[in-house]
Amino acid sequence: MSKKRKRPPIKSGSFKKLLKFIWKYNKVSYFLVFLTIFISSGIFIYAQSFLGNVVFEKYLVPYFITGNFDNTGFTNSMLILGAMFLISIACSLISSQIAVVVTHRTIKKLRDQLYGYIQKLPLGYFDTQLKGNITSIFTNDIDALRDMLSQSIPQIFNAIFSILFSLVMMIYYSWFLTILVLLMVVILMFLAQILGKKSIKYFSARQSSLGTVNGYLTEMIEGIKIVKVFNYEKKSVENLKVKNDKLYENDYKSKFWVNIIMPVLMNMGNVNFALMAVIGGTLFYYQNQWGTTWMNISIGTLITFLQYSRSFIAPIGQVSQQLNSISLAIAGFSRVVDVLERTPEESNGNVKLLTKEQLIQNDSSFTNSNTNFYDFYWKVSDKVTQQINYIPALGAVKFENVSFSYSPEKKIIDNFNLDVKPGQKVALVGSTGAGKTTIANLLSRFYETTEGHIYLDGIDIKDINKDDLRKSMGLVLQDTSLFSKSVNENISYGLDHCEDNVIVSAATVANANDFITMLHDGYNTILENSAEGLSQGQKQLLSIARTSALNPVMLILDEATSTIDTQTEKLIQQALDNLMHQRTSFVIAHRLSTIKNSDLIVVLEHGKILEKGTHKELLALKQNYYKLYTGVAELD
């Protein structure tokens, strides 16, 4: 399936949601951060008043006028001032350390929650996303949030408290000069708001472009052999350059507007200090000349006001420095919200799958009335009487008028009907895009049918809990996915408890035991870098062993031997035959030689059944399958 990948817009209210998320898990910690910042700012602001009114007015000014100096009083005042600054610094250090702890805890919680939620999303989400783009959300976007939490938020709250305390004290000392300062600030903040709105949309585009670049790099690195074999290196570099140019453009634009206002905001304090010194000094001079008192400005008052005006303006510059970090965090969190607001898969359905051991343990009445047991049972509750029934899970599958489409204009599967008996091996044959894999995806409920029903052992699969439905199925794909774990753990993947004898038995069924025992650490050998030390055939055998360990009711084999050489294919085919023995199996294959012994072969084209029957029956018809098998027509 191919769908156009669009950059998610910045979600409305993302910043508010971000703050709610942070506060939800860190109420006490952030209260302590706010409290220590409040104390630190309050003491720092009061210390400036103490410096102007006490140190200057009480000791230094009289000394310059009369020559008398109170050395003891001055020393005590300086000690008090020093103690205030030490307490302020200590509170700042405490708030910083708490902020670091809160940041790491929040980031961990968000990554855990995001990863857990992504596991619940339907397959369709992953079909429309680049792997590198999803990875970028976990790394770049959440890292941007980390920078905001550890640096920007503490600085912003420190700035808010400093601004509020300074404003109160400025009004107290000179309301007239305070009005002049506020007029300057209002004009600059108005400009900052306009430029901030222009920049934030480019921050979102930057994060999206970064995800695109990461996605492309992931694809090219994973497929480097194909890149080299097809001499695609130069074209690959050109493609990356186009994507990197777009990232550069968005990155440049995102910071261009912010960088216009930042120098002005950063130097606003110096301009304000000089301007207020000139105006305040002039008012002090004429106040003495005219003998007026309404200004009430003294040397100590002017010095104190200038300190407060600097404390009022400086935090605005500090906040401006955090605009990049805040904008990146909002854009990044918006991409996180885009994931968290997607509709997850619903594990709806009340029908559960039980092993015979679980059934024997939980229902003694059923045990007493039965002597022969199947490996698995469906636990079905009657919708009317609520009576519990246990139906053997045999793998009988029925497709009834099934249709499926990604869009109303084109049906991928069109009125598909098929009745499969327990233990039958069914081969799905057709050209690429015929709908073979889609049939398997509908059976697994990776996608939901648009029309019609699929029944498993007479039960509509929509009534079966999705987790239990998938427990009943074993899946072997063309692309083997082995994890950075031991061979043991890879074979027992998805099983809560798996005894060693079960693992060895599964490996034996898959013809994998011989080569596993020859590995340097046997079943405990750690597979790293996608099991690079194993051949493709050995990887596929481990994949078969993993499926065998599940002991599934039925199997889906999606082109499981299409990338294997002929000699290895025989070994794998034997392993698959062992696995399919007495199990309902759906086989999707391009090599028709591997499906000759199937109980039923279904030929598909554009989601419709062209013909079905055994190998001999279809050859006798001398139609579509005959042409494919004899090479008159091709699968691709």
User: Which CATH number is 308's domain given?
Assistant: 1.20.1560.10
List the strands of the sheet with 397-404, edge to edge: 413-420, 397-404, 451-456, 459-460
> What is the token pair recorded at 230?
């097809």
In the predicted model, residues of the chain with pLDDT beneath 50 are 1-10, 636
pLDDT, position 4: 42
Task: Say if 636 falls within a structural domain.
Answer: no
Q: Do 482 and 375 fall within a single domain?
A: no
Q: Are strands 584-588 and 425-430 parallel, antiparallel or unpaired?
A: parallel
Q: Are strands 376-381 and 388-392 parallel, antiparallel or unpaired?
A: antiparallel
pLDDT, position 518: 92
Q: Are strands 600-605 and 451-456 parallel, antiparallel or unpaired?
A: unpaired
Task: Say if 519 falls within a structural domain.
Answer: yes
Give SS3 for 231: coil
Q: Do 525 and 423 fall within a single domain?
A: yes
Q: Is-contact 48 304, C-beta < 8 A?
A: yes
Domain that holds residue 79: 14-340
Tally of CA atoms within 13 A in the half-sphere of 35 that contains its CB: 8
Q: Is-contact 607 416, C-beta < 8 A?
A: yes
Q: Do 207 and 238 fall within a single domain?
A: yes
* Residues ≥6 apart with Cβ < 8 Å to 574: 511
Instruction: Give the total number of structural domains in the chain.
Output: 3
Q: Do 368 and 302 fall within a single domain?
A: no
pLDDT, position 142: 86
Task: Say if 484 falls within a structural domain.
Answer: yes
Q: Do 382 and 402 fall within a single domain?
A: no
Task: Say if 219 falls within a structural domain.
Answer: yes
Q: Do 362 and 453 fall within a single domain?
A: no
> What is the token pair recorded at 585?
């199996």
pLDDT, position 556: 93
Task: Say if 347 falls within a structural domain.
Answer: no
Task: Say if 345 falls within a structural domain.
Answer: no
The CATH number of residue 626's host domain is 3.40.50.300
Q: 0.75 cut: is pTM over it?
A: no
Altogether, the residues listed in the chain come to a count of: 636
pLDDT, position 18: 76
Give the bridge partners for 354, in sequence order.
377
pLDDT, position 306: 80
Task: Say if 346 falls within a structural domain.
Answer: no
pLDDT, position 8: 47
Q: Is-contact 315 338, C-beta < 8 A?
A: no
Q: How many CB atoms sit inside 10 A of residue 507's CB?
A: 27
Q: Do 255 and 157 fall within a single domain?
A: yes
Task: Say if 604 falls within a structural domain.
Answer: yes
Q: Is-contact 556 443, C-beta < 8 A?
A: yes
Q: Do 531 and 585 fall within a single domain?
A: yes
Question: Cα dist. 591→550, 601, 621 in Å?
Answer: 26, 13, 20
Which DSSP helix (H) or strand (E) runs through 358?
helix 356-362
pLDDT, position 494: 83
* Residues ≥6 apart with Cβ < 8 Å to 219: 130, 131, 132
Would the CA dihedral through 510, 514, 518, 522 be positive or negative?
Answer: positive
Q: Do 204 and 315 fall within a single domain?
A: yes
Q: Is-contact 273 26, C-beta < 8 A?
A: no
pLDDT, position 1: 41
Q: Do 311 and 415 fall within a single domain?
A: no
pLDDT, position 586: 95
Q: Is-contact 36 91, C-beta < 8 A?
A: yes
Q: Do 489 and 608 fall within a single domain?
A: yes
Q: How far apart are CA 46 and CA 37, in angstroms?
A: 14
Q: Do 281 and 374 fall within a single domain?
A: no
Q: Is-contact 610 407, C-beta < 8 A?
A: no
pLDDT, position 456: 96
Q: Which of 518, 520, 539 is nearest to 530 (CA)?
A: 539
Give SS3 for 462: helix
